[in-house]
Amino acid sequence: MANLLPKMDRIATAFESARKNKRACFISYVCGGDPDYQTSVEICRLLVENGVDIMEIGVPFSDPLADGLTNQLAAERALNNGMNHEKLLQMVKEVRTFTQKPIVLYTYFNLVYAQGISSYLKDIRAAGVDGLLTLDLPPEEAGELIAASRQTGIKNIFIVAPTTPPERVELIAAVASGFIYYVSREGVTGERSSIASGLENALKEIRKRTTLPVAVGFGISTDSQVRAVAALADGVIVGSALVNCVGENPNDRKIIFKKLTEKLKTLTSGLA
């Protein structure tokens, strides 16, 4: 499997580059295939051209329990337009023709298990994926996935929540790779009007237990929120605010691209 191992750690390189530029990494989330395959590829191109350091691509799923309505509808649009595992792999390969920026798949374990864990990881690695965030797979039950990921060079990103006890943070830190995803508040994904309190202390506690970068997501949707999180975290993750740019006008590419460009310009201004 040596040929599957990446020549470089694109995720680590992205965080190091941002650090050298004295800013946080900007991580975007969009749903693969939303609103359709070709528009989704062009959305990824637009993200690359407008300040995104790492791309999270959601794998459309019919039962996305951790997602709020915005991302549920995005998955529904993608599935209705024929998105599937094979097309997602093809999409990643197409994105890889114009960028070497890191790609992380945001998925659910059923979708991995259905393909066979080892086969799935080989396939996504060969397509050009760097990391995997399997939302509903706790680290206590992820041994097979973690072992296969290490063999293929895929980074396993795990989530820490405000309610995660210290001993469980220790466990997550021991098996995670790539970066730690800190959920800034309880609940499902979606835009919020404010950043949760206690973020600074939470990040300090996580950093006592890991040297991995810590990125913060869930609910970040304005430049002021990006600025507040970027002052404390190694990475800022924005999803629903971008997905809404697609969902508001799913049948008009020009409007989608215009709104996304404007939104990204506003959000990335918070990194400065």
Res 197: pLDDT: 66
Q: Does 123 qualify as catalytic in the annotation?
A: no
DSSP 168: H
The Cα–Cα gap between 74 and 138 comes to: 25
Res 7: pLDDT: 60
Can you read off the two tokens belonging to residue 83?
């998105």
Res 198: pLDDT: 85
Q: Which of 67, 123, 130, 234 is catalytic?
A: 67
Task: Please say whether the beta carbons of 57 and 106 come within 8 A.
Answer: yes
Res 185: pLDDT: 60
The Cα–Cα gap between 261 and 272 comes to: 17
Res 191: pLDDT: 43
CATH number for the 25-189+197-271 domain, one of 3.30.420.40, 3.40.50.1820, 3.20.20.70, 3.40.50.620? 3.20.20.70
pTM: 0.92
Torsion of CA 208, 212, 217, 221, to 10 degrees: 110
Task: Please say whether the beta carbons of 180 and 202 come within 8 A.
Answer: no
Burial of 23 (0-12, 13-18, 19+ CB in 10 A): middle
The identity of residue 26, as a single letter, is F
Burial of 97 (0-12, 13-18, 19+ CB in 10 A): exposed
Res 267: pLDDT: 97
The Cα–Cα gap between 44 and 36 comes to: 12
Res 120: pLDDT: 97
The Cα–Cα gap between 55 and 101 comes to: 7
Question: DSSP characters for 62-83?
Answer: S--TT--HHHHHHHHHHHHTT-
Which residues of the chain are modeled with pLDDT < 50? 1-6, 187-194
Res 195: pLDDT: 59
Can you read off the two tokens belonging to residue 129?
């994926």
Res 161: pLDDT: 93
Task: Please say whether the beta carbons of 187 and 69 come within 8 A.
Answer: no
Can you read off the two tokens belonging to residue 21?
């530029």
Q: Which of 56, 123, 130, 223 is catalytic?
A: 56
If you search the block for the tokens 């080892």, which residue do you land on?
A: 118
Would you give the distance in Å from CA 231 to the centre of its chain?
20
Res 131: pLDDT: 98
* Residue spans per domain, the chain: 25-189+197-271
User: Measured between alpha carbons, how far is residue 241 from residues 10, 38, 100, 125, 212 in Å?
Assistant: 25, 21, 24, 28, 26
Q: Does 67 qualify as catalytic in the annotation?
A: yes
